[in-house]
C-alpha cells in the first residue's frame, strides 16, 4: 500500500511538473487581441496596455520590457498601429517567439482611406505619419476575427502541441459565438445604415464594411494632433453638404475637438470606442466592445 502511494505521488508530481512546464507565457499588446486569445488558451495572457491608454501614444516601461523578455510568445498586430513596440522588437530576446498578425494571418485587409475628408499624408504639422498601406484595426471585422482565431490555433499549436486539442475546442465555441454576434449586430444596425456620420479617426472601416454603414469622413489622422483650421472648415462643409447626422468622439481623447467641429452645424456628438478604453480586460471584453459600438451608433443616429 505504501509503495503504491509513493508511486502515485511520483506520477502525480511528474504530471504536474510536465503541465506547468508546458505552459507558455503569452504577452500581447491591446485589449481586443488579449480578449480573443483568452477565448482560445486555457491559461492567463499578459496585457501590455492594461490601463486606459491609446496605442498611439503608449510608452513601454522597464517593467513592460522585462515582461516581454520573460515571455515565450509575443503576439502583436503591426508596428503601424502599435508604434511603441517598433524599437523594443529589435532588442527583444531571441528566444521569444513573435507572432505578427498583419500580413501573416490571411485576413482581408482594407487600404487606408485617403483624400477628401478622409486621412491625408500632408498635415503641415511637421510630423511624419507612418501608418502603412493597410488599416490595422482588423479586430473590428467579425470575419477577420474568425480567421484570426484559426490562425492563433495553428501558430500556438506549433509552439505548444500538447494543447492543440484544447485550443481547437475553445476556438470552436468562440467562433460560434462570433457568428451569432455578427448576425445580431448586422440586424440591429440595418435601420440606421443609410445615415451619414463622421468619426474622430478612421478606425472603423472593417466594422462599417461588414454592416453596410455610411461613414463619410474622419477628423484626424493622428489622434494626438488637433486638426488644422483648414481641416475643420473642410469637415464643416462636408457636414452641410452631406447632411451629416453625427460626429463621433473617442473616450481617450478630449471631446473639445469634436465640439469645435460641430459648432454652428446641425450634427450631434456621439461616442465610439475602438479598443475597449473603459472596459475591464477579459474573455468577454471583445463582445462588450462590439455591443458598445452598435449601441453608440444607434443612440446617435436613430434619433436623428
Residue 269 in contact with residue 247, Cβ under 8 Å?
A: yes
Residue 29 and residue 48 in contact, taking contact as beta carbons nearer than 8 Å: yes
Residues paired with residue 246 on neighbouring β-strands, in sequence order: 197, 268
Task: Name the one residue in this structure whose C-alpha cell is 489622434.
Answer: 223
d(CA 68, CA 26): 9
**Digit-coded pLDDT (tens) for 116-164:** 677 554 444 433 344 568 999 999 999 999 999 999 999 999 999 999 9
The CATH architecture one would assign to domain 2-109+138-183 is 3-Layer(aba) Sandwich (3.40)
Same fold yes or no, 2-109+138-183 and 187-301:
yes
The CATH class that applies to domain 187-301 reads alpha beta
Domain coordinates in residue numbering, the chain: 2-109+138-183, 187-301
Residue 200 φ/ψ region, left for φ over 0, alpha for ψ in the -120 to 50 degree band, beta for the rest = alpha
pLDDT tens digit string along 179-230? 999 999 999 999 999 999 999 989 999 999 999 999 999 987 666 677 888 8
Neighbours of 2 (CB within 10 A): 6
Distance from C-alpha of 211 to C-alpha of 189, rounded to nearest angstrom: 7
Here the cell at position 165 is 486539442
Q: What is the grid cell recorded at 115? A: 483624400
Task: Report pLDDT for 289.
Answer: 98
Q: Is residue 210 within 8 Å of residue 142, measured between CB atoms?
A: yes
Quote the pTM value.
0.87
Query: What burial class does residue 147 get, using C-beta atoms within 10 Å of its C-beta: 0-12 exposed, 13-18 middle, 19+ buried?
Result: middle
Dist. CA 197–CA 151, nearest whole Å: 34
Amino acid at each position: 500500500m505504501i509503495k503504491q502511494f509513493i508511486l502515485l505521488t511520483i506520477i502525480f508530481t511528474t504530471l504536474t511538473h510536465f503541465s506547468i512546464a508546458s505552459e507558455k507565457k503569452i504577452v500581447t499588446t491591446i485589449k481586443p487581441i488579449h480578449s480573443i486569445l483568452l477565448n482560445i488558451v486555457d491559461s492567463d495572457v499578459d496585457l501590455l496596455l492594461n490601463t486606459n491608454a491609446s496605442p498611439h501614444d503608449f510608452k513601454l516601461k522597464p517593467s513592460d520590457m522585462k515582461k516581454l523578455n520573460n515571455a515565450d510568445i509575443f503576439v502583436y498586430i503591426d508596428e503601424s498601429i502599435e508604434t511603441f513596440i517598433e524599437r523594443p522588437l529589435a532588442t527583444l530576446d531571441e528566444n521569444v517567439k513573435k507572432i505578427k498578425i498583419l500580413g501573416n494571418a490571411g485576413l482581408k485587409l482594407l487600404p487606408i482611406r485617403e483624400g477628401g475628408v478622409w486621412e491625408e499624408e500632408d498635415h503641415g504639422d511637421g510630423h511624419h505619419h507612418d501608418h502603412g498601406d493597410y488599416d490595422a484595426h482588423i479586430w473590428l471585422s467579425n470575419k477577420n476575427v474568425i480567421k484570426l482565431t484559426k490562425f492563433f490555433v495553428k501558430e500556438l499549436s506549433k509552439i505548444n502541441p500538447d494543447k492543440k486539442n484544447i485550443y481547437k475546442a475553445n476556438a470552436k465555441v468562440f467562433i460560434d459565438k462570433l457568428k451569432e454576434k455578427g448576425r445580431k449586430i448586422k440586424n440591429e444596425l440595418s435601420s440606421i445604415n443609410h445615415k451619414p456620420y463622421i468619426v474622430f479617426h478612421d478606425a472603423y472601416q472593417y466594422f462599417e464594411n461588414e454592416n453596410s454603414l455610411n461613414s463619410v469622413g474622419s477628423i484626424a489622422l493622428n489622434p494626438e494632433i488637433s486638426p488644422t483650421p483648414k481641416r475643420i472648415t473642410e469637415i464643416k462643409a462636408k457636414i452641410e453638404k452631406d447632411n451629416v447626422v453625427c460626429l463621433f468622439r473617442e473616450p481617450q481623447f478630449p471631446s473639445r475637438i469634436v465640439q469645435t467641429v460641430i459648432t454652428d452645424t446641425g450634427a450631434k456628438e456621439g461616442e465610439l470606442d475602438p479598443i475597449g478604453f473603459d472596459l475591464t480586460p477579459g474573455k468577454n471584453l471583445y463582445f462588450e466592445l462590439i455591443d458598445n459600438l452598435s449601441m453608440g451608433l444607434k443612440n446617435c443616429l436613430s434619433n436623428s
